[in-house]
């Protein structure tokens, strides 16, 4: 029996393990922390009875993942919860835009830009999930749905700024799109920064923006349980310093960043071989706040009180300025905020009558600045009285995020900047392979990049399986 060793138990490491174990490979996972999950963990960060997602919290690409769809994760405890409204984006003056599950309802919210929204998003919905299989697969290959991908590429390769201004006439629609594109953590004038906005917009209508019942840890636990049911072995509290420490194996898959690969490889690679991994540009970091609340957030806009995710940025220009500041290493007084309010839909997150909320903003990579006051001011701006509901808070700066999870270099939650060049290379061609025979990267530092979908792990496992002479089950795309 072939043996694969996996270093790191984030969603991609576990996904690689599950993919290989299903193909009959013996899998051993080594995790440095005392809990599996990487950035997908749930912790009691504030007061007794309050559960907080310490990393990722909302999973549009999780429920839509072509790989996760092939797995019996529900049998291992995973339950998706879909909020009434996937996304709300409050505006000054009490107005609010957002995405409903229904395309026509969203178009109605956008008024004169409703038809433009339909024209932009409906082709993706009609081709989903085949489109997503192409979008989340390895780069630089012939897509299975070339016409759909070609149409997607016409807008996806544009900057978010250009796409918003050419497709939409109103500031409301442009601001909604800016909030979606802002998830990419690159300036909105960068080429291809429109792509994440398009994918997330399509996901909201096609499959939703769900949370996991009981917290993000439920996703991790389901993957871990499935892997163990297939014979996989997981070792926690098992830090790996060098690849030489690993037991005998036929393949090694590393759920680590490019920088960490260089450390693990040590003298096994030359200076020239190190260079592609060392030149990877990191994204801006994040500053994150978790709150225990005495009541739901008192949003001025009714729509925001029904949404699982809320974007706080005010206007297109304000969001663009915030993202540019973080990229250029400058602090921002009015940062763009991504906020989740899971306890509105999942009563397991807080004691009866109480609530939790989760928010972060992008900051210069490695910045130790405290953004608590700025984040809470942005929430208060659209929800007067919010501060009075705060019972306790827990914060993590960008360096603290890296201390919590070493893959979050400087607080970067994307595994490296999602620029067009790095989306394609991330960090080498061909992807997933390293200069060391039989050693592969399977983290978000490989295509398709950030997000909880397991596709980096599955694609890396497919490459490793081919090397071992093993066939993985098809995803049926």
Overall size of the chain counted in residues: 477
Ranges in the chain, pLDDT < 70: 139-142, 477
H helix intervals, 358-443: 372-382, 398-404, 420-425
- How remote is the C-alpha of 230 from its chain's centroid? 27
Q: Which fold has domain 3-32+238-280+414-468?
A: FAD/NAD(P)-binding domain (3.50.50)
Bridge pairing between strands 3-7 and 26-30: parallel
Smallest CA-to-CA distance from 456 within 407, 405, 385, 402 is with 407
Write out the residue limits of the CATH 3.50.50.60 domain(s) in the chain: 3-32+238-280+414-468
Q: Check: CATH 3.40.50.800 for 42-101+208-212+284-413? A: no
Q: What is each CA distance from 49 to 46, 55, 352, 359, 393, in whole angstroms?
A: 9, 18, 9, 19, 14
Q: What is each CA distance from 231 to 263, 299, 433, 457, 458, in whole angstroms?
A: 30, 48, 26, 18, 18
In this prediction, residue 239 carries a pLDDT of 96
- Are the CB atoms for 66 and 85 separated by under 8 Å? no
In this prediction, residue 425 carries a pLDDT of 80
Peptide bond into 291 cis (omega under 30): no
How far apart are the C-alpha atoms of 156 and 426, rounded to whole Å? 18
291 φ/ψ angles, rounded to the nearest 5 degrees:
-120, 140
CB-based contacts of 3, cutoff 8 Å, min separation 6:
25, 26, 27, 28, 247, 248, 249, 250, 251
- Are the CB atoms for 413 and 443 separated by under 8 Å? no
- How remote is the C-alpha of 449 from its chain's centroid? 9
Q: What is each CA distance from 149 to 146, 152, 303, 453, in whole angstroms?
A: 5, 5, 33, 19
Smallest CA-to-CA distance from 390 within 406, 376, 404 is with 376
**What pLDDT digit, counting tens, does each position of 191-206 carry?**
999 999 999 999 999 9
- Are the CB atoms for 414 and 55 separated by under 8 Å? no
In this prediction, residue 146 carries a pLDDT of 77
In this prediction, residue 139 carries a pLDDT of 66
Write out the residue limits of the CATH 3.30.519.10 domain(s) in the chain: 42-101+208-212+284-413
Bridge pairing between strands 307-312 and 337-340: antiparallel
How far apart are the C-alpha atoms of 18 and 153, rounded to whole Å? 32
Q: What's this model's pTM, rounded to 2 decimal places?
A: 0.96
């Amino acid at each position: 029996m072939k043996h694969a060793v996996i270093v790191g138990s984030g969603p991609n490491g576990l996904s690689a393990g599950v993919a290989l174990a299903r193909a009959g490979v013996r899998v051993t996972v080594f995790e440095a922390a005392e809990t599996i999950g990487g950035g997908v963990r749930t912790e009691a960060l504030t007061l007794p009875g309050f559960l907080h997602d310490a990393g990722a919290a909302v999973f549009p690409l999780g429920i839509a993942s072509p790989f996760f769809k092939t797995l019996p994760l529900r049998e291992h405890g995973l339950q998706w919860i879909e909020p009434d409204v996937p996304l709300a984006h409050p505006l000054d003056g009490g107005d609010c835009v957002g995405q409903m599950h229904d395309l026509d309802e969203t178009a109605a919210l956008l008024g004169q830009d409703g038809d433009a929204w339909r024209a932009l998003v409906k082709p993706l919905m009609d081709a989903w999930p085949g489109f997503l299989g192409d979008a989340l697969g390895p780069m630089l290959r012939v897509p299975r749905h070339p016409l759909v991908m070609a149409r997607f590429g016409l807008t996806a390769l544009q900057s978010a700024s250009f796409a918003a201004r050419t497709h939409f006439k109103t500031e409301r629609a442009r601001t909604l799109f800016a909030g979606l594109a802002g998830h990419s953590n690159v300036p909105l004038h960068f080429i291809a920064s429109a792509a994440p906005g398009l994918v997330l917009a399509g996901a909201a209508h096609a499959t939703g923006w769900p949370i996991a019942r009981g917290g993000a840890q439920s996703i991790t636990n389901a993957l871990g349980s499935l892997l163990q049911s297939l014979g996989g072995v997981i070792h926690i509290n098992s830090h790996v310093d060098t690849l030489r420490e690993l037991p005998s194996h036929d393949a090694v898959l590393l759920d680590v960043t490019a920088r960490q690969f260089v450390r693990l490889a040590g003298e096994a690679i030359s200076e020239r071989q190190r260079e592609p991994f060392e030149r990877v540009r990191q994204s801006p970091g994040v500053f994150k706040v978790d709150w225990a609340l005495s009541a739901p957030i008192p949003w001025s806009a009714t729509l925001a009180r029904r949404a699982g995710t809320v974007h706080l940025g005010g206007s297109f220009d304000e969001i663009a300025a915030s993202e540019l500041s973080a990229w250029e290493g400058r602090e921002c007084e009015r940062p763009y905020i991504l906020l989740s309010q899971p306890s509105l839909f999942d009563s397991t997150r807080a004691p009866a009558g109480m609530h939790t909320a989760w928010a972060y903003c992008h900051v210069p990579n490695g910045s130790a600045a405290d953004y608590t006051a700025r984040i809470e001011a942005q929430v208060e701006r659209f929800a007067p009285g919010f501060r009075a509901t705060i019972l306790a808070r827990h914060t993590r700066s960008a360096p603290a995020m890296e201390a919590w999870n070493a893959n979050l270099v400087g607080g970067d939650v994307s595994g490296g900047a999602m620029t067009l060049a790095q989306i394609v290379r991330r960090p080498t061609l061909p992807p997933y392979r390293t200069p060391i025979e039989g050693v592969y990267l399977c983290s978000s530092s490989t295509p398709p990049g950030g997000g909880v979908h397991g596709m980096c792990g599955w694609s890396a496992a497919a490459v490793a399986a081919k090397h071992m002479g093993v066939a993985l089950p098809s995803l049926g795309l």
